[in-house]
């Protein structure tokens, strides 16, 4: 161990004993970890407690200067108003008998506005892995200099903790009085990415000194939803800034990133959320068309059948079921997005069939369905603002700088008008409740300088995890991000990007598909040799074999006895030729060509359905992956990989996925 390493250990030991933060070698901040700094109760179901330590880390508020200068000089800040504190958790592998740490695995929460507590259940998945797990509250959330409006969020306020449109004006005035407008600009994605790199570098310095400088120490960022934007931004900073200038840069800190539910920097805006839910729902309906059971009831174009149903409901059809047409439209995309992977997609399709038919035998099931959906919608809406440590103000600050197009200085009805325009122009079947909740046009902050950009060079391996039914960050985003990474210049020795596609998953693949965790761990062990398609082969959507939950609502025969009568302009029955085409698509026999850029087979099939552009792209992604995934998996996987997959496939999915993007 070097003399500097010994000095670091001595300083750390003294500071931890005193329970205070301090300055290490060359003025670097030393983190004072202690289990006593952590909440006394587990922050999430199944959270690992052995080896959990917590600390507050001082970081700059504004990030003034070139590159990482403000983080390198954070201890020289002129006054307390120039800095904020971040709450950080780490979980040491030695304390849970997982061996000496091989590096850090950061679990970066989504949002914007979510705190790190949402990721704590995931620590149970990695309990046996030799990594220091790190979870921080994003700046402005949880215990990290929380951005809040006490009056508007008081239980005694009109909507309780949820800030209403009428309350946002006063809330913004409160925030500007407390932080100033320039201070609010400090709560940005780029600063959050610099926070991650800075804290990771401090932990690495400490742990490498303690281990004598292990050569294989790696720092991997796993980002979920909005967390993917933070992870991508961390890489972008290291690619575009002068990492060799130690006066202005922390250097290359990140060794790998994994992105689950990718926010594509060039394409995400909040007002497009309704489109994404509509696209994902139509992917499900197009899969129904090639399913023998579902297609037999809803025809070759179930999306058209659904449009017909909505038109009839607005005209008074099946009023005795008690289902409001607009509520039903809102609910469809939500149920499709929340459906757990591996379970049959019966709730949406069976409800369409039974509403169209609306017979005496259908009404009891439809009333049970209506009661169930009211409960689901109510619970989801409540979760949007009531998560532990969630900051509505932090969401606004980030969105105003990052994921929202330029807006006029807004009025309260801006979002309502925006959504009406979306419905008229894009035939949105689903209105995301978040869209009408935040009048971001009321707060004006300069756009983040790095917003809307992806790296043009790449020094780290990347794994993307994408659900074909993702309605928050659509599969199209992952495909576009994958192409950008493939086109980026990579030095020799850097593994190409890999993408895991979960054909039955929605938002948050690691939460919904038990195959994802062992596949990700295999990639971490060997990013060059990892075969994504072999690790996660295609699984078709199922519309039969109802789950126990489906039976409670619809009975043992969810679709009823016979297809509904929709008249000559509605349901398109399948002919023998159409059945043959559907069978060829479902078993993958329509396949050809290759994707030279990706280096993997990429097969396509002609789609004879005219859809809006975004939905068409999503459908093409579905069918291409369907055909590609149909080939038999390779038998060359190692026994260790197989045992790891078997081990983790038995564990319960834990990662939450209820955030904004």
Backbone φ and ψ for 482, nearest 5 degrees, come out as -60, -45
Strand (E) positions, 245-292? 256-260
Is the pLDDT at 131 greater than 90? The verdict is yes
Q: In the block, which residue shows the tokens 């693949």?
A: 509
Between residues 655 and 112, the one the model is more confident about: 112
Average pLDDT, the chain: 77
Nearest to 435 by CA among 270, 277, 657, 275: 270
Q: In the block, which residue shows the tokens 């329970």?
A: 19
- Whether the CA torsion 131, 137, 142, 144 is positive or negative: it is positive
Q: In the block, which residue shows the tokens 């309780």?
A: 160
Hey, what's the torsion of the CAs at 38, 39, 43, 47, to 10 degrees?
50
> In this predicted structure, what is the pLDDT of residue 16?
38
Give the three-state DSSP class for 275.
Answer: helix
> In this predicted structure, what is the pLDDT of residue 421?
39
**C-alpha to C-alpha distance for 164 and 657, rounded to whole angstroms:** 24
Query: Between the ranges 252-261, 283-292, 431-440, where is the mean pLDDT highest?
Result: 252-261
Between residues 598 and 542, the one the model is more confident about: 542
> In this predicted structure, what is the pLDDT of residue 380?
64
Backbone φ and ψ for 659, nearest 5 degrees, come out as -125, -170
> In this predicted structure, what is the pLDDT of residue 33?
98
Confidence of residue 430 (pLDDT cuts 50, 70, 90): very low
Is the pLDDT at 649 greater than 90? The verdict is no
Whether residue 112 has a cis bond before it, omega within 30° of 0: yes
For strand 256-260 and strand 218-224, is the pairing parallel, antiparallel, or unpaired? parallel
The CATH number of 3-147+187-268+451-535 is 3.40.50.1820
Lowest mean pLDDT among 20-24, 134-138, 367-371, 556-560: 20-24
> In this predicted structure, what is the pLDDT of residue 337?
74
> In this predicted structure, what is the pLDDT of residue 133?
98
DSSP 157: S
Nearest to 1 by CA among 205, 203, 199, 219: 205
Q: In the block, which residue shows the tokens 């990989």?
A: 641
**C-alpha to C-alpha distance for 278 and 74, rounded to whole angstroms:** 46
Query: 61, 192 in Cβ contact below 8 A?
Result: no
pLDDT digits (tens, 9 = 90+) for 132-156: 999 999 999 999 999 999 999 999 9
Alpha helical stretches, state H, 506-638: 509-512, 516-525, 532-535, 548-554, 576-587, 613-629
* Rounded percentage of the chain residues whose pLDDT exceeds 70: 71
Nearest to 62 by CA among 438, 446, 453, 400: 446
For strand 103-108 and strand 132-136, is the pairing parallel, antiparallel, or unpaired? parallel
Nearest to 130 by CA among 498, 655, 521: 521
As given in the structure block, the two tokens for residue 640 are: 């260790």
DSSP 222: E
pLDDT digits (tens, 9 = 90+) for 154-188: 999 988 888 887 888 889 899 999 999 899 999 99
Give the three-state DSSP class for 54.
Answer: strand
pLDDT digits (tens, 9 = 90+) for 315-343: 999 999 999 887 887 778 778 877 776 67
Give the three-state DSSP class for 415.
Answer: helix
**Spatial CB neighbours of 191, under 8 Å, sequence gap ≥ 6:** 59, 60, 63, 139
> In this predicted structure, what is the pLDDT of residue 643?
59
Is the pLDDT at 14 greater than 80? The verdict is no
pLDDT digits (tens, 9 = 90+) for 587-635: 433 222 223 223 322 222 222 222 222 332 333 333 333 333 333 333 3
Query: 77, 126 in Cβ contact below 8 A?
Result: no
Nearest to 501 by CA among 532, 476, 480: 532
Nearest to 197 by CA among 40, 346, 70: 70
Is the pLDDT at 514 greater than 70? The verdict is yes
Mean pLDDT throughout 108-135?
95
The residue extents of the domains of the chain are 3-147+187-268+451-535, 272-383+538-629
* Cross-strand bridge partners of residue 60: 83
pTM reported for the whole predicted model: 0.80
As given in the structure block, the two tokens for residue 73 are: 């000089």
Lowest mean pLDDT among 51-65, 231-245, 412-426, 445-459: 412-426
Side-chain-side CA neighbours of 138 within 13 Å: the count stands at 40
């Amino acid at each position: 161990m070097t003399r500097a390493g010994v000095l670091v250990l001595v300083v750390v030991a003294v500071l931890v004993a005193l329970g205070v933060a301090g300055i290490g070698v060359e003025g670097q901040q030393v983190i004072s970890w202690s289990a006593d700094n952590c909440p006394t109760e587990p922050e999430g179901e199944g959270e690992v407690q052995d080896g959990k330590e917590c600390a507050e880390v001082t970081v700059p508020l504004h990030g003034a200067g070139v590159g990482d200068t403000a983080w390198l000089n954070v201890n020289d800040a002129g006054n307390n108003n120039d800095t904020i504190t971040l709450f950080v958790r780490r979980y040491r592998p030695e304390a849970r008998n997982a061996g000496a740490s091989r590096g850090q695995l950061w679990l970066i929460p989504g949002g914007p506005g979510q705190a790190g507590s949402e990721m704590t259940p995931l620590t149970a998945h990695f309990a046996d892995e030799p990594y220091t797990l790190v979870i921080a509250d994003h700046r402005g959330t949880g215990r990290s200099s929380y951005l809040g409006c006490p009056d508007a969020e008081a239980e005694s306020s009109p909507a309780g903790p949820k800030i209403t449109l009428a309350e946002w004006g006063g809330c913004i005035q409160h925030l500007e009085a407390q932080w100033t407008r320039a201070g609010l600009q400090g709560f940005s994605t780029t600063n959050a990415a610099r926070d991650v790199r800075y804290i990771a570098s401090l932990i690495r310095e400490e742990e490498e000194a303690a281990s004598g400088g292990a050569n294989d120490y790696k720092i991997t960022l796993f980002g979920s939803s909005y967390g993917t934007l933070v992870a991508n931004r961390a890489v972008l900073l290291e690619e575009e800034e002068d990492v060799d200038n130690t006066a202005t840069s922390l250097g290359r800190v990140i060794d790998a990133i994994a992105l689950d539910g990718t926010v594509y920097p060039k394409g995400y805006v909040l007002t497009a959320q309704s489109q994404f839910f509509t696209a994902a729902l139509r992917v499900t309906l197009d899969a129904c068309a090639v399913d023998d059971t579902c297609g037999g009831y809803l025809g070759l174009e179930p999306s058209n059948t659904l449009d017909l149903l909505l038109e009839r409901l607005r005209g008074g059809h099946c009023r005795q079921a008690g289902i409001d047409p607009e509520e039903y439209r809102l609910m469809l995309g939500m149920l499709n997005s929340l459906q757990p992977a591996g379970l049959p997609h019966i709730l949406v399709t069976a409800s369409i069939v039974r509403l169209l038919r609306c017979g005496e035998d259908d009404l009891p099931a439809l009333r049970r369905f209506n009661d169930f959906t009211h409960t689901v919608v109510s619970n989801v809406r409540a979760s949007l603002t009531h998560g532990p440590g969630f900051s509505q103000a932090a969401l606004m600050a980030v969105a105003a700088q990052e994921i929202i197009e330029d807006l006029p200085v807004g009025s309260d009805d801006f979002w309502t008008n925006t959504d009406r325009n979306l419905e008229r122009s894009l035939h949105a079947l689903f209105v995301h409740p978040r869209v009408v909740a935040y009048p971001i046009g009321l707060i004006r902050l300069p756009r983040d300088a790095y917003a809307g950009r992806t790296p043009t060079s790449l020094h780290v391996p990347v794994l993307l995890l994408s659900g074909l039914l993702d309605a928050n960050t659509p599969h199209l985003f992952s495909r576009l991000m994958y192409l950008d990474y493939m086109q980026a210049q990579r030095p020799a020795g850097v593994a190409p990007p890999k993408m895991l596609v979960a054909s039955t998953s929605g938002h948050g693949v690691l939460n919904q598909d038990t195959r994802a965790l062992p596949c990700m761990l295999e990639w971490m062990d060997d990013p060059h040799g990892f075969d994504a398609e072999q690790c996660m082969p295609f699984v078709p959507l199922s519309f039969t074999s109802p789950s126990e939950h489906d039976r409670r609502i619809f009975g043992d025969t969810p679709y009823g006895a016979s297809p509904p009568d929709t008249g000559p302009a509605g349901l398109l029955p399948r002919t023998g030729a159409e059945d043959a085409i559907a069978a060829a698509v479902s078993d993958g026999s329509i396949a050809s060509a290759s994707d030279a850029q990706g280096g993997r087979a990429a097969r396509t099939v002609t789609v004879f359905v005219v859809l809006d552009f975004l939905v068409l792209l999503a459908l093409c992604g579905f069918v291409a992956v369907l055909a590609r995934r149909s080939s038999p998996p390779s038998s060359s996987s190692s026994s260790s990989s197989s045992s790891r997959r078997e081990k983790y496939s038995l564990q319960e999915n834990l990662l939450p996925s209820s955030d904004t993007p």
